[in-house]
Structures are given as structure tokens and as C-alpha cells.
Structure 1
Amino acid sequence: MSATVRYIRKRAFSPVVTGSLLYILTRGPESLRRPLVNILSSPANVERAKSVLKWLFALGLLGRLNSWLNSWAENGWQLYGDKKRWNWNKEIAVITGGSNGIGAGVVKGLAAKGIKCVVLDVEDLPKNMQNYANINFYKCDITSPSAVSEVASEIRSKIGNPTILVNNAGIGTSHTILLTEPEYLERLFSINVFAHYNTLQAFLPSMISANKGHVVTVASLSSFVPPVGLVHYASTKAAVMSLHEGLTSELRHLYNAPNVKTSIVHPTYARTRLLEGFEKEVKENKGVVIDPKLISDAIVRQILSGRGARVVVPQGMSLAKAIRGMPSWMQERLRDSLAPHTQSAKDMLLKR
């Protein structure tokens, strides 16, 4: 979607814009009203414009109300955030998979705000991230509970208790269900799902004790619709979506820690190394591929807001959140439309 189209779409559903135009056309001073009437050129067009603006104004208000209610619910029914409790120069963020891709972007973004960042990864930091005074690196296999526990103890003793946890690390390549090797499947779930439990069990208790923290789960749009050839990957992202929702409930109802915020991010395909294994299939199916910086920037913004949220990147695909509430026939039609239709795309998957 072009920048122009996005701009027009955003303004068309802005109650401020549509309400102002409607007021000018109906009750505004002649000096403002006359230029608009001249542009519309006829009384019939003026009436049509009024009708369209009324609908856009109403839809815009409903959209704003829905967003406000979502934010209210996602933050433990708290009207206001606790942003004042955050002192970014004193906060500590743990980011898994922070040596490249989306994770590296998150690390750089948080570090630029003065946050102490701790990267857990099996891959060393790239040279351009090794000279930051507030970026620390620990080589750690996050699929090992004992390795995570050991590193967590070292982090607490040398740096302090983390207040932000970004579970970002993930892997994925395209396979059909029948061609997915058991060993690969086990590794996939270990990194994409079980590692979340390891880091939560290591870092969440101190957040609960302080009733302050933010856990960010990096999921995918495939949490809502499993693409053909990526069912295994989508299954892990659906799993961490359930984990995110359950974590939010447990923090609120079992641990009485409503100020430990939880956010989940559902990006579309990003131009990272993870995509390299199945980029041909994505392009063949005309999938949307975006710059990973858009995703990392969205994560950083959400953390700095001091609020929890369910974030879709790009924002223009936010309707994906409603898919699971659609009637079955609509869901099936959507899945059919996203399936590979060309023989070459099918062959790519069947030969993997």
C-alpha cells in the first residue's frame, strides 16, 4: 500500500477531519463553506458528500471507541498507564534473539532511549552493536531451562532485575505437514514456544514482586491464519498467542500484578534471515513482505508507551485480529484465497 493511500485511508476515518468537513458543509461560515461547495460543483454532490461524511464520521467514532475499549481491557481495565513509574535510564530489558533481524532493531531502539539491554542469543553480537555501553551480551541456549536460569542469576547479580522481557527469538522454514521432520519439529517448538516458558520462569518473579514490568511476545499474523506450507510455524505462533493471553490473566487474577504489562506483536512477513528459507513461496503467493525495522520500531514504541497491547504490523492489516470471530464459511474462504494457486508454488512446497 502506497504512502498516499495510507494517508488518505487514515484521514478518511478520522472523526476530527470528517467532523470538521461535515460542520463546514452544514453550519460553517460562508467563507469556508463556499470553496468546498465550488469544488463539489452541484447541490446533488454536496448532499452526497454530506451523507458520506456522516457515515465516515460515525465509523471513525466507533473505531476510536473500539480502540479505547481494547486498550482499557488489555491493561487490566485501567484507564491510565503507569508511564510515570518508568525511568528508562534505570530499566533493564532482556531480548532473546537480539543479535540480528527484528531483535537487533529492538535492542538498538531501546538502547537509544538509555535502557540497559541484555541480549540472549547463540549468535554473537555483530560488530556494529558491540560498542554500546548499555548493551550486554550472553551466549545462551534459551531452549535449556538450566542455561537460562544460570544466565538469569548472573544478570541479576551483575546488572540487576530486568523489568522488560522481549521474547523474540524464533526459527522457521517451509515444509508441508507430511515432509516436516520430527527432529526439526522438536527444535522449532523448543525455540518458538518452550523457550518462552524458560525466560518467563527466570525473569517474571521479580516483576511480579515489584508489580512492574512488561513482557512482549513476538508472534505472527499466522497466529490467526496458518499458511499452507507453514503449518508447523503457525502452530508455534498460535501457541505463544495462547501463552500471552493466559499470562495476562494469571498476572491479573493469580498474582495481583496488574502493572506487569503484556503485549503481543503480530507482524506479516519480514525481510529477515528467517524468510530466506521460503521467500520464493511468499513471493509466488504475493505475500506482503516488510522491512523488519517497521516491526522493531513498533515494539519499541509499545514498550515506551508503558501500556500493553495487541499490535499488528503493518497497522493496515489489523482486521486480521477479527478472523477467528468470523463465521466458518468466511474463514475457509479466506484460507482458500491465501493458499498457493500456481503449480510452481505447489511444486516448491511438495519438493521440500
Structure 2
Amino acid sequence: MQRRRGYLPREGIHLGFLLSSFESCILSAPMIVLGLACLCVRLVPHAVPSTALARLPSQRSTLIYLGLAVFARVQKACSRAAINNWVSPKPPDLAQEIFVVTGGTTGIGRSCVDLILSRSPKARVAIIDIVQPETSLGEAVRFYKCDLSDREQTELVAKQIKEELGDPTVLINNAGLSRGKYMSEIDWQNITATLGVNLIAPFLLIRAFLPAMIARNHGHIVNIASLSAYAPPAGLADYAASKAGMLAMTESLRLELRHVHKATSVRVSAFVLSFVKTPLFKGETNQPNFLSPLLDVDTVGEEIFGAIEQGASVVRYMPAISGIVASIWAYPRWFQDVILNGTAKLRVDYRGRQHIDEHGRVSG
């Protein structure tokens, strides 16, 4: 795992990092206390020399800052509480959890597995992947080779995991497939494979593991989505559609758990990612790194593991500035096109490394 350089991101300094850092600073408790102190001094001006008073912000600007800062902190706290069903997150005992990670032999999935084992060597982990691991996974990890585009294989592996390890409590739907074909040329085999791995397999695995989570009112489902769900480039229609479906499924599942099953402590998280340095990625984004950095898998893995470790549901956009792009459908049409047309400049090979046979089955 690549280590951070102090507090700086692995990707280098970028706009999302600066905006997040500024927000954290400006909304921090010490800054608000400092604002209150300035306000108190303004209310009793005779208590300080006039020269010092002249250097302080005006009473009006201080009140505006305090009002906005308190409002922002309250709405963030309410958002965190709402997405967790107004039930305080409880950090799980990782040694007692049973993890299932799809696509766990490489990239983001492998980073998550390494983090889990580094924090809790006794945790039980199942990896579902079409690709054999290149290095030893350790005794705590079970590897299940599976073509996730195949319904029968997926359901059989889910049953096998429950029989051998017990009912999983954490499911990370990370496996992804991209074919990079235009609508005018894509065949049904590639469409079926992409939707099977990216969307149908998560449905099947959730269906297999969810009843036990509901019965215990304990568990965490993590779905990996993509910014392409909001801004889909040409040649990525199948992949983008699968990730948009993943986000819709995530929200529907959250409501089902809350209103139908009353399982308010079962967590559901989504991570909406821009470009990540994984086996899926080849080529150049032709985007300034300052605006759109190529994310390191360990940066993403740490965020995912952090949510699991806290026992909290989250919806996280990475890098942070991606959240602005994700609100694209609220913009005027001409401005939407400015953003969408920018995807034509990408020089990324989306074709993927997997082979799809004539029946739509996937091989590594």
C-alpha cells in the first residue's frame, strides 16, 4: 500500500483537496470560537485598545460568518444523521465481521482487503473475482473464482460463502467491467456481460446476504458507482447505465430497510468515483491534475474502509469536486452540454482486459 506524504494526498495537491481543507478549517470549532470572541470584543469595545479593535472584522461580517458556519455545521450533522436513519453509528468489532469483496484481487478491492486485514487480522474475508490473486492472501482470506455475469455461478458462490464462513455482515460491491464500445457497434454479449457484472451481480449478492443482516439489524453494504452515471462519455453507455442503476438501487434499498424492514442499523453506502488507477483504466484523461486528479486505489480504499470502521452510511464523491459535476442535471441545458462535451476530449481506453465469449460469459 502506498503511504501518504504527511497530510498531502497521494495524487498531489488538487482543487478538491483545497476546497475540502478550506471547508474543514472555516467550519472548525476553533474558528467559530474565534468568531464568537471577535463578536464579544465588538460588543464591549472599551475592553481593548482602539488600534487592536480596528484590525478585527466588523460586527456585521462576523455575524454573517457565524450564521453561515453554524448553518453549515447543522445541515451537515442533519445529513449525516438522516442517511443513518437518525441512529448513531456504532463502530463494529471487525474481528467478528464477515467481509465479502467482489473484484478483491486487484485495485480498489485489494486495497480494501489489505486494510481490513491490517486492522483486524482475525477478520474473515471472502474475495469473489474472475482473476486469480497474484500474491498470497493469507489464511483469513478465502478466494472464490466466479464469473459474476453468470447468475448461476454467482448464486452458487453466495451459498458456498454462507456455508463455509457464515452469513456475511459487510458486502463491498466493487467488481466492475467496461467494454468501451459505441452504441452503433456493441453486441448483446457485451451488454449482457457489463450489466451482469456491474449491476445484476450486486442485486443477486445483496438478495442472498440481506435477510441475515435484516434479522440481526446489523450489516453494511457498500456500492461502488461512477461519475459516468451523471456525465457519460460516448462509448461508455453500458457502463454508465450500470452505474446509474447502482445508485438508484442504493437509494431504493436504503428506503426499503428504513420503512419496510425497520432495519435502521443496516448501513448502505455509495462511492461515486472519477478516474482511478485500476486495471480498468488505460490512456489519458487530458484533464489538468489540479482539477481532476487520477485517484490512487489506496485513497479510495481508505475512504471505503473508514466508513465501514465507523459503522456509518455515506454517499461520497471522489474527488470532492465531483459532487459539483454530479449536480449537472440541475443546470441549464447549454451548461450541461459544456460539461458533457468535455468528455469528448478524454483519451481513455475503456475496452477492458476481459474476454467475452459468444454466450456473454466473462473470462479473465
TM-score with structure 1 setting the length: 0.82
Query: What residue number does 1:58 align with?
Result: 67
Q: CA offset at residue 120 of structure 1? A: 0.4
Answer yes or no: is 1:315 the counterpart of 2:320.
yes
Q: CA offset at residue 323 of structure 1? A: 3.6
Q: CA offset at residue 254 of structure 1? A: 2.5
Q: CA offset at residue 173 of structure 1? A: 4.5
Match among 3, 14, 39 for residue 27 of structure 2: 14
Match among 283, 300, 303 for residue 286 of structure 2: 283
Q: Separation in 2 of the partners of 1:245 and 1:198?
A: 17
Taking only aligned residues, the RMSD between alpha carbons, in angstroms, comes to: 3.2
- 2:199/2:245 contact within 8 Å kept: yes
Query: What residue number does 2:129 align with?
Result: 121
Cα displacement string for residues 162-213 of structure 1 (whole angstroms, at most 9, x for unaligned residues):
1111110002253433343432222111111111112112222221222211
- 2:179/2:190 contact within 8 Å kept: no
Query: What residue number does 2:359 align with?
Result: none
Name which structure has the greater RCO, CA cutoff 8 Å, separation 6+.
Answer: 2
Letter in 1 for 2:133: L
Query: What residue number does 2:107 align with?
Result: 101
Match among 132, 138, 159 for residue 153 of structure 1: 159
Letter in 2 for 1:227: P
Match among 4, 9, 13 for residue 2 of structure 1: 13
Answer yes or no: is 1:190 the counterpart of 2:192.
no
Q: CA offset at residue 306 of structure 1? A: 0.9
Change (3 A) 1:156 1:79: closer
- 1:91/1:162 contact within 8 Å kept: yes
Change (3 A) 1:120 1:246: same
Q: CA offset at residue 294 of structure 1? A: 0.9
Query: What residue number does 2:97 align with?
Result: 91
Q: CA offset at residue 284 of structure 1? A: 5.7
Report the structure, 1 or 2, having the larger helix content.
1
Aligned with 1:5: secondary structure?
A: helix
> Which ranges in structure 2 are unaligned for 5 or more consecutive residues?
1-11, 351-364
Match among 69, 72, 75 for residue 78 of structure 2: 69
Deviates more, 1:16-25 or 1:113-122: 16-25
Q: CA offset at residue 96 of structure 1? A: 0.4
* Structure 2 counterparts to residues 96-245 of structure 1, below 5 A: 96-114=102-120, 115-127=123-135, 129-130=136-137, 132-245=138-251
Change (3 A) 1:33 1:267: farther
Deviates more, 1:292-301 or 1:58-67: 58-67
Aligned with 1:283: secondary structure?
A: coil
Change (3 A) 1:327 1:56: farther
Q: CA offset at residue 98 of structure 1? A: 0.3
Aligned with 1:340: secondary structure?
A: helix
Query: What residue number does 2:311 align with?
Result: 306
Change (3 A) 1:329 1:91: same
Change (3 A) 1:141 1:173: closer
Q: CA offset at residue 333 of structure 1? A: 4.2
Q: CA offset at residue 321 of structure 1? A: 4.7
- 1:18/1:57 contact within 8 Å kept: no
Change (3 A) 1:203 1:252: same
- 2:32/2:69 contact within 8 Å kept: no
- 2:20/2:320 contact within 8 Å kept: no
Q: CA offset at residue 335 of structure 1? A: 2.7
Q: Separation in 2 of the partners of 1:12 and 1:203?
A: 41
